[in-house]
Amino acid sequence: MTKEQIAKNQMALESLSKRFDGMVANINELTRIIEGQEPAKSIVSGALTVAEVARLANCSPMTIKKDIDRGLLKVVHIADRKKIPAKEANAYLNPK
């Protein structure tokens, strides 16, 4: 493996590690909410993929896509992907 490949792999690993840490924090937050230790609040930041929102909502990505089509969830298009802004995801995951 070349030095460039090693550096590229290290950068990818660091990126995955940060994303994993964020997911663990979200899971811990959800666990505290479910157990009643603290009130629901903003549990995500940035923008999420359809699959990520589906995991947090405990439903299929198809359900999220249908809700997007119905106008229940707003998305932004980044390249060829749909991303759900954090504010939208939070409102969807914590209905009033």
CB 47 within 8 Å of CB 61: no
pLDDT of residue 59: 93
Contact 54, 23 (CB under 8 A): no
Query: What is the average pLDDT score of the chain?
Result: 83
pLDDT range class, residue 45, cuts 50, 70, 90: low
Q: Reply yes or no on whether the pLDDT at 83 is more than 60.
A: yes
**Alpha carbon distance 42, 26 (integer Å):** 10
Cα 83 to chain centroid, rounded: 9
Tens-digit pLDDT profile for residues 49-70 = 999 999 988 999 999 999 999 9
Q: How is residue 74 written in tokens?
A: 């707003």
Q: What is the pTM of this model?
A: 0.53
Q: What is the pLDDT of residue 62?
A: 95
